[in-house]
Amino acid sequence: MRYLLSIIAIAAVWSQLAVSQEQLERSQVLITNVNVFDGINEELAVGQVVLVEGNMIKGIGQHLAATEGATVIDGGGRTLMPGLIDAHTHLIWNTGVGGLLDGYPDYIAALGLVEAKNTLMRGFTTVRDTGGQVMGISQAIDEGYHVGPRIYSAGAAIGMTSGHADFRSRNSRPRQLGGPRETELERLGMTVFADGVPEILSASREQFRQGVQFLKIFAGGAVTGLRDPLDIAEYSPEELRAAADEAKRWNTYLAVHAYTDRSIENALNAGAMSIEHANLITEATMKLLAKKGAFLSTQTGFFLAPIPASFSAAQKARQQLAAEGLENMMQLAKKYNVKIALGTDLVGSMESKATELEEFTNRTKWFTPVEILRQATSINGELMALSGPRNPYTGKLGVVEQGALADLLLVDGNPLENIELMTDSENNFVLIMKDGVIYKNAL
Taking the CA atoms of 164, 170, 175 and 180 in sequence, report the sign of the dihedral they define: negative
Whole-angstrom CA distances from 308 to 96, 247, 331, 359 are 11, 35, 27, 19
What does the alpha-carbon distance between residue 233 and residue 164 come to, in Å, rounded to a whole number? 11
pLDDT at 140: 98
Residue 117 DSSP class? H
Q: Kindly tell me the burial class for residue 248, based on how many C-beta atoms sit within 10 Å of its own C-beta (0-12, 13-18, 19 or more).
A: middle
List pLDDT tens digits, range 359-409.
Answer: 999 999 999 999 999 999 999 999 999 999 999 999 999 999 999 999 999
Q: How far apart are CA 416 and CA 81, in angstroms?
A: 11
Domain ranges of the chain: 27-82+398-441, 84-366
Under CATH, which number does the domain 27-82+398-441 receive?
A: 2.30.40.10
Q: What pTM, to 2 d.p., does this model score? A: 0.93
C-alpha to C-alpha distance for 299 and 279, rounded to whole angstroms? 9
Break the chain down into helix, strand, coil percent, rounded to 5: 40, 20, 40
Q: What whole-number distance in Å separates Cα of residue 191 and Cα of residue 158?
A: 6
CATH number for the segment(s) 84-366: 3.20.20.140
- Percent of the chain whose pLDDT exceeds 70: 93
52 within 8 A of 82, measured Cβ to Cβ? no
| Mean pLDDT to the nearest integer, 225-246 | 95
**Cβ(375)–Cβ(299) under 8 Å?**
no
Q: What integer pLDDT is reported at residue 26 of this predicted model?
A: 59
- What pLDDT sits at residue 9? 43
pLDDT in tens, 68-123: 999 999 999 999 999 999 999 999 999 888 888 889 999 999 999 999 999 999 99
